[in-house]
Structure 1
Amino acid sequence: MDEAHKSKYSVHPRAYKMYYDLIDRYWWPGMKKDIDVYVRIATDFVTKLPRTSSGHDTIWVIVDRLTKSAHFLPMREDYKMDKLARSYLNKIVDRHGLPISMISDLNGRFTSRFQQSMQEALGT
C-alpha cells in the first residue's frame, strides 16, 4: 500500500483510486477496508495538563497514518477554531498535504466547525 500511495503518478490517492490501482495486481480479504483506514489522519486532544510557562495546557495529537508520524502540538484549551485551523495548516498540511479524511473521537460539531475554519483559512 505504501508504494501505491506514494507513487509519483498517484499523488496520495483517495481510497477508491488506490483500490483500483492495486486490484489488478493484488487482492486480499478486507482490502477495501484496509485501504480506507490506511489513507486517514487520526487526531485527538490531551487536555487538563499543568500549564506550561508559555501558557499551554493541552496537546493536540495528530498521527499521519500513511507515514505513521505523530505530531504533538502544544495548545491552550481555550484556543479558537481559527487558531486551530491555522496551526493545522502550518504544522501538518505544510508537511503532509491536505488529508483525505480525519479520524477523531471528538464530537461531530467540533469536526464540522474545524472543517469550516479550514475552508475559510484556505479561502475556499
Structure 2
Amino acid sequence: MKLGEKVRQVVQGVQGDFTLNTEDILFFRGRLCVACDEELQYAILRNAHSSPYAMHPGIYQKVKAEHHYPSRLLQPLKIPEWKWERITMDFVSSFSLTSTKKDDIWVIMDHLMNRSHFLAFRTSYNLQKLPELYIAEIM
C-alpha cells in the first residue's frame, strides 16, 4: 500500500497505528515513514551517520565485516582439573569507604567452579599485601 493511501486512511480515522504530525508527516507507532525509494533511504542513513551531530559519525563504516582481518578457527579453552588452577582477576575501585576503611574490591574468579570471590581492600595496600590477602582469604 502506498503512503498516500495510508495518509488518507489516517485522515478518515481507519488506521490506529499510523498518525500524522502537525506538518502532515506520516508516522507508524512514533517512527517516521519513508517511501520505498532506495536513494532516499540511503541519503537519510548517510546524512544521519555523517552529520556533526551524529552519535558516531562515520564509525559504522569501520566496523563492517569487510574491514576486519579474517579470523582463525576458535581454539578450545583448556579445562582446569583442580579448583583455583585457572583464575582471572580484576580490580574495581573508587567506592565509598567502609567501616574498616576499605574502598576497593579485588574480584577473583575460579574457572572450574565458575565462582567469584570479592575481596575488599584499601587503595593504600602495597603489592606485598595483596598476596597475603589472597592466601588468607582464598587458600
Q: 1 or 2, which has the higher helix percentage?
A: 1
Higher Rg: 2
Q: TM-score range by the shorter chain?
A: 0.3 to 0.5
Per the normalisation by structure 1, the TM-score is: 0.45
